A and B are shown apart, each in its own frame.
Chain A
Amino acid sequence: MSAPGRPQAIVPPRAARRASSTSRSTLSRHTPMSLLLIGLLVLNTAAVIVPLAAALVSSFKSTAEIMSDPFGLPASWSVANFVEVWSAGSFDVYFRNSVLVLLGSEALILGFSAMAGYALGRFRFRLNGAIYTLVLMGLMIPAKLLLVPLFIQLKQMGLLDSLWGLILVYAAGGIPAGVFIMTGFFRALPNALEGAARIDGAGEWTIFSRIMLPLVRPQLAIVAIYTAIPIWNDFLLPIVFISNPDLKTVPQGLSVFFGEHAVNMGALFAGLTLSALPLVIVYLLLSEQFIKGLTAGAVKG
């Protein structure tokens, strides 16, 4: 197994896993250490699954049932709580807003990061180093520091209480990471294809969009996941920038719902389940890509 040079060590290919079993199998005899480690893994898995499953099951129960039998199955699988959530809350509006904000900011992040990453990774020019440093600086600026100046600025621009305000701020927040990741990948691409296209007389935009972009599609997916999850989950910017009930996002809407339904436990669990479910389902389908994408900043290939 070529451990040191293996790209994206976090998700070793199946072949590497098989090859590694020879040297690791001796470590997995039934020693106290290995039992402890397996025990911890099982315990942690239970600590994750039991509360989430209990929350899911509780959304089918009444408050009285939750109290009398906290972790049992409901007497009947009633969807009354979900009906209550859907009619009393405005989750259809919240989901629409969250999806719009996500699509808008991702379009800007992916498009602009790919373009800038391409220019920084493939061309030599005088300001290349300076611009790259600027991008690195952008990576280090903490979002909370910007809260007050952005509030004032968005107000002046008429972008307060507007989904566009959220989209532009999220996009600006994601672009440094996007440019950083894309520059690295574009730099590593071989020159041959580009050179051939240039000789054939292809224009710059054609080379970028027809030849280079298709080559970095997997890396664009990493940028998308890395930047999309924090945007989807964020509620700090919406609570500061959005007060119109018709423009609230899912996390913000969930807090509105919790404020208004303080004692109906079943409905609260249903609201929680409803808010969490879309992303959890996508995660269950694409967990490999999610893990790779979300640890991209901390795990070097």
Chain B
Amino acid sequence: MSRRLWITLFIAPAIAMMGVFMLWPAFAALGYSMYDWNAFTRGEFVGLKHFLRLTEPPYRDEFLNAFKNNLVTFVAVMVLQNGIALLLAYGLYHRPRGFAFFRGTVFLPVILSLIITGYLWQLFLHPLFGPLTQVAMGVFGLEEFAPLGDSRYALATTILMSVWRNIGFPTLVFLAGMNAIPEEVFKAAQIDGATDWQVFRRIVVPNLGPSFTIVVILTFIGAFEWFDLPFVIGGATGNPAGALDTMALMFYRLSFGDGASPVTDVGLGAAVSVVLFTIVLIGSKFGADFLRRREIQS
């Protein structure tokens, strides 16, 4: 057989799979927002109608609320999760006794599914029977303790769950970044008598550029495409009272119904997804360019 035929045979299966179940549907999805839909049957071409609907009540407020929750999540995860992850990574970098154990446990929740993570904490926080609820009411004398049912605390609590589950990932990315910093840099600092804090502040952090870029971009994408935990905790409508709503949830319930009613609006849902992925695409492109410029060139 000829060389060209072999190359084709080696490559065709992978490309065919990608083409049929990924590239073609992605291409199809781009047009969905421009049509009216009757359930999953395409109706007539309506141009930008669905995008305009997003800018008018009632969908405007719904969309802005979801967007706000995505944004809050991004900022909170950046500060809380990635900030602590940086310190955890620096702790691991020193190779303390029990290094393998610490690293193993820090990463353990990352392999748990988000449905398990969500249900785990939902059980602990069950308003009547939850172990944490018992402790909160017993120790602090609270009359009731139901943060997930309270629209003031539900988002913060769900973000904490997400941090608990995901923190191992940025920790190990930062650790790898620290391990890649040339040892001579540290030796020089040591000779100069730098303290731990100075080494961390002046050497470790500035040299982590590439790791920072990866972590920030992945956090951005993760926060703006956030779906699983809010869905597990608050259902397709992001209960309580939309406190857990996100753009991805809005897209989901417009496309497949909110669980309570099967009414869908596929065109509007597609418009939400187009806006969502445009934000993600532009945000990560500009974010990556900006962060890369700030990386120390070595």
Contacts and interface: CB of A to CB of B under 8 A. Distances in A.
B21 A115 contact: no
Interface string B239-280: 000000000100110011000000000100110010001001
Interface in B50-90: 84, 87-88, 90
Contact of B21 (A168, A255, A276, A280): A168
B94 A24 contact: yes
Interface in A101-116: 108, 111-113, 115-116
10 closest Cβ pairs, A-B complex? A70-B131, A233-B113, A172-B21, A37-B91, A149-B25, A119-B10, A33-B196, A116-B14, A10-B176, A112-B14
B46 interface: no
Contact of A175 (B9, B17, B218, B232): B17
A162 interface: no
Given A23-B183, A148-B29, A265-B129, A276 B112 contact: yes
Interface string B4-29: 10110111011101101111111011
B186 interface: yes
A26 B190 CA distance: 8
B190 A23 contact: yes
Interface of A: 1, 3-4, 6, 9-10, 12, 17, 20-21, 23-24, 26-28, 31, 33-34, 36-38, 40-41, 44-45, 47-49, 51-52, 54-55, 58, 63, 66-67, 70-71, 108, 111-113, 115-116, 118-120, 123, 125, 131, 134-135, 137-138, 141-142, 144-153, 155, 168-169, 171-173, 175-176, 178-179, 204-205, 208, 229, 232-236, 240, 251, 254-255, 258, 263, 265, 268-269, 272, 275-276, 279-280, 283-284, 287, 290-291, 294-295, 298-300
Given A23-B190, A119-B10, A233-B114, A10 B26 contact: no
Nearest to A150: B25
Interface string B92-123: 11111000011111111111111110011101
B120 A55 contact: yes
Interface stretch (B140-148, B150-158, B166-174, B289-297): B166-174
B205 interface: no
Contact of B18 (A142, A176, A236, A258): A176
B220 interface: no
A290 B111 contact: yes
A144 B6 CA distance: 35
Interface string B205-231: 000001000110010010001011000
Interface of B: 1, 3-4, 6-7, 9-11, 13-15, 17-18, 20-26, 28-29, 32, 40, 84, 87-88, 90-96, 101-116, 119-121, 123-124, 126, 129-132, 134-135, 164, 167, 169, 172-173, 175-176, 179-183, 186-187, 190, 195-197, 199-200, 210, 214-215, 218, 221, 225, 227-228, 232, 248, 251-252, 255-256, 266, 269-270, 273, 277, 280
Nearest to B264: A148
A287 B167 CA distance: 16
Contacts of B102: 41, 44-45
Contacts of B119: 254-255, 258, 268, 272
Contact of A229 (B11, B111, B126): B111
A3 B23 CA distance: 39
Given A269-B123, A272-B123, A235 B228 contact: yes
A280 B111 contact: yes
13 contacts: A28-B95, A54-B131, A116-B11, A119-B6, A134-B23, A146-B29, A148-B269, A149-B26, A151-B40, A172-B21, A233-B112, A279-B111, A298-B173
Nearest to A230: B113
A111 B270 CA distance: 34
Contacts of B111: 229, 233, 279-280, 283, 290, 294
Given A63-B129, A148-B32, A272-B120, A171 B17 contact: yes
A30 to B, nearest CB: 11
Nearest to B23: A138
A263 B130 CA distance: 11
Contact of B10 (A26, A63, A116): A116
A49 B26 contact: no
B113 A148 contact: no
A28 B190 contact: no
Contacts of A34: 94, 196
B177 to A, nearest CB: 8
Given A33-B196, A37-B90, A175 B116 contact: no
B124 A51 contact: yes
Nearest to A154: B21
A172 B108 contact: no
A17 B95 contact: yes
B166 to A, nearest CB: 12
Given A44-B105, A67-B134, A175-B18, A235 B115 contact: yes
A48 B115 contact: no
Contact of B180 (A3, A45, A208): A3
A141 B22 contact: yes
Contact of B116 (A10, A172, A254): A254
Given A28-B96, A146-B25, A172-B20, A125 B120 contact: no
